[in-house]
Structure 1
Amino acid sequence: MGTPTADLVSETRAERERLAGLFGDLTPEQWDAASLCDGWRVREVVAHMTMPFRTKPLKVMGGLVRARFSFNRYADRDARSAAAAMSEAELVGLLRRNIDHPWQPPGGGQAGALSHDVIHGLDVTEPLGLPPAPVERLALVLGSTQPRQLKYFGVDLSGTRLTAADSGVSIGDGPDVVEMTSKEMLLVVTGRRRLGELPKTR
C-alpha cells in the first residue's frame, strides 16, 4: 500500500519550508558554489526548483519548442536565465511563498513533487555540508523509485541490491548487497554518486 497523498503533501510542504530556511542563510560564496547538478551552481539549482511557480503551461510549451523538445535543454536555459535575473532574496522569497503550491510533475504525482524537492535539495546541501532531509522523508522518496527513473539517471543495478541501514528501504534484487545510508542510496539511484565508490557487504 502506498503512502497516503495527505502525508506526501505534508512532507513536501515541510521540505520546502526546511530548504527555504537553509537557503535564506546562505552566503554569497555558497550561492556561487558548484552543486551536484553538472554545470549548475547553487543559484541555478534553486532557480530550477522555483520553475513550477514561475511558469505557465504555454510558456513551458514555447520553451520546449525552442529547445527542440528536450526538457533537459529547456530546464537548463530556464534555470540559467532565472538565476541571472533574480536575486538570492527573490529566489528564496518565491520558494517561501509557494510552500503550499499544488504543483506535481507530469506523471509523477505528489510523490514526484516530493522527490523533486528532496533530490534537488541534496544537490545543494551535500556539497555545502548542510543537513539533508530527515531519514523518514528520504525513505519516502526512495520508496517511490521506479525502474524508469533509474534508467533516466543512467543507473544500472544489475546483480545488486541496495539496502539503507537507517530506514530499511531496499532497491534492486541482485545477490550482491550494498549497505549504506538512505542519503547515500538516494545519491546513487539519482546518479549523483557512483555505486563503485561504496564498499559492498553481504
Structure 2
Amino acid sequence: MRRGEPTDEVWPVVHAERAALADDLEGLSPARWSTPSLCAAWDVHDVLAHLLATARTTPLRFLRGLVAARFDFDAANAAEVRDERRADPADTLAAFRTVLTRTSGPPAPRDTRLVEAFVHGADVRRPLGIPWAPPRAAVARALRFQVRSSDAVGGGRGRVAGVRLAASDTDLVLGSGPVAEGPVLSLLLVAAGRRSALADLTGPGVAVLAGRP
C-alpha cells in the first residue's frame, strides 16, 4: 500500500462483499456447491471455506499455520480449507455469516482483502452464473495493488508486465506496451491468474497475456 494511502474504506467494502456473497449463496442446491470454481482444484464450497478461514485468521494464527505447512503457502491454504469446510455447505455458510464484519487477517497489506473479496467472489459467481456488479472504484484499487505486487506473494506484476491494461468501464490505465482492454474486474481476474477472463479482453496485449502461465 502506498505511503499515506487511506485504508479506512477497505473494511466497509470487504464487509459488504462478504454479505453479498453470503446472500448469493443462500439456498444453493447441494449439487451446485460442488461446482468447480475458477480457483484451480477448489469447488464453490472450498472457496467459501477459504474465505471463512481468512476472515477468522490473525497474524499469529497465519504464521502458525505456515510453520505447520513447512512454509508451503498452498499446503497452508489447503489445511485451512479442510479445517473450516463443514460436511454440510449450509453449515459452512452459517459460520461465514458470523465473520462478515471481522477486521483481522494475515500479516499483509490491507488491499489484499479487496483482491481476495473480488477475485474469490468471481471465482464462485462466474461458474454459477450469478450476476454481480462490484464497486468499480474499489476493484480498480485492487487491480492497482495486484499489478505492483510480486508473483511470489500472490501478486500479478510478472503476469502483466509489458502490457498496457486499459479498463473499458473506468478511466484506469496501467502499464505500457501492447494494450489489453476490458472491464476492470476482468483485468483484475487476469492479473490474479484467472485465464478464463482473457475472453473478456480485446487488443494485441491479450495474446501476450495468453502466452503466460
Q: What TM-score do you get using the length of structure 1 for normalisation?
A: 0.84
Change over 3 Å in CA distance of 1:8–1:86 after alignment to 2: same
- Judge conservation of contact 1:20–1:96 (CA < 8 Å) in 2: yes
Percent of pairs with identical residues: 32
Letter in 2 for 1:48: H
- 1:93 aligns with 94
User: Equivalences for 1:149-168 in 2 at 5 Å?
Assistant: 149-150=150-151, 152=154, 155-168=158-171
| Aligned match for 2:43, one of 35, 41, 44 | 41
- Judge conservation of contact 1:45–1:124 (CA < 8 Å) in 2: yes
Change over 3 Å in CA distance of 1:95–1:178 after alignment to 2: same
- Alignment of 1:64 with 2:50, yes or no, is no
Gaps of 5+ in 1: none
- Alignment of 1:13 with 2:15, yes or no, is yes
Letter in 2 for 1:113: R
**How far 1:117 sits from its partner (Å)?**
1.6
SS at match of 2:149: helix
- 1:123 aligns with 123
- 2:210 aligns with none
Letter in 2 for 1:115: V
- 1:103 aligns with 104
Q: Distance in 2 between matches of 1:27 and 1:134?
A: 28
- 1:186 aligns with 188
Q: Distance in 2 between matches of 1:32 and 1:128?
A: 10
SS at match of 1:95: helix
Q: Distance in 1 between matches of 2:106 and 2:60?
A: 16
CA RMSD of aligned residues (A): 2.6
1:27-61 C-alpha deviation (Å, 9 max, x unpaired): 21221100011111100000000113445655544
Q: Distance in 1 between matches of 2:87 and 2:175?
A: 41
User: Equivalences for 1:17-32 in 2 at 5 Å?
Assistant: 17-32=19-34
Q: What TM-score do you get using the length of structure 2 for normalisation?
A: 0.80
Change over 3 Å in CA distance of 1:57–1:107 after alignment to 2: closer
**How far 1:122 sits from its partner (Å)?**
1.0
Letter in 2 for 1:114: L
Change over 3 Å in CA distance of 1:146–1:56 after alignment to 2: same
Say how many residue pairs are matched: 199
Q: Distance in 1 between matches of 2:197 and 2:125?
A: 20
- Judge conservation of contact 2:170–2:184 (CA < 8 Å) in 1: yes
